[in-house]
Amino acid sequence: MTVAFRPTPSVVRRDSGLYGYERALARRGLGPVAGVDEAGRGACAGPLVVAAVVLSRRIGGLNDSKLLTVSRRESLYELIMAAAEAVSVVVIPPADIDARGLHRSNIEGMRRAVARLSCDLGYVLTDGFPVSGLPVPSLGVWKGDQVAACVAAASIVAKVTRDRMMTALDERHPEYGFAVHKGYGTVSHRRALETHGPCPAHRFSFATVARSGPGGLMGENEMGAGLA
């Protein structure tokens, strides 16, 4: 098992900028550095999407995807996909989340996203908490999508990928409003659940969905089963 590694005596100052972690690790021969983050953890419908990104050059304007406008996220997504050294995306369908549990699904998704990167790695930064079982040393960074560029990039890739999936799902099931709330438990989403009941795009292990009763049927591949 790979043990989380913290290079010493390096200290990354809060004012060192968004690329401070990458610079500090590169100085000690621990590059390239991959950032890993997920989107959809708190939603009660739709997949969990995990992204891993290795940046090859600086991209201005990176930040936590939740703090960016939709248009800014989309433009940064295109820049990241064009300029990154490597990008990997793992999609975990709702049925897998129900079967394995949210946190376990998240951890497994992060491991798989890192494993699928097409370049050799020296280090991994994960958003929020440490992840064991990675192939190289790693560190969980609190609010990593706001303090580390590669994690911010992963946050954007995961968020844009998932939002596009939820918008596509809305075209097939407009009664739930997935294009608007993206599967999160808003008032309008809860009202739709009360009226229509859940469909298999919902996470039945979540209390909001479990209380709403049985719903209709959806093809097993509709939310990307088998893509994870």
Q: Is 37 annotated as a binding residue?
A: yes
| DSSP letters for 37-82 | EEE-TT-SBS-EEEEEEEESS--TT---GGGS-HHHHHHHHHHHHH
Q: Report the 10 Å Cβ neighbour count for 126.
A: 28
**CA distance linking residue 191 with residue 132, whole number of Å:** 39
* First CA to last CA distance, the chain: 23
Residue 135's closest CA among 120, 150, 149?
120
Binding residues for a divalent metal cation: 37-38, 127
Binding residues: 37-38, 127
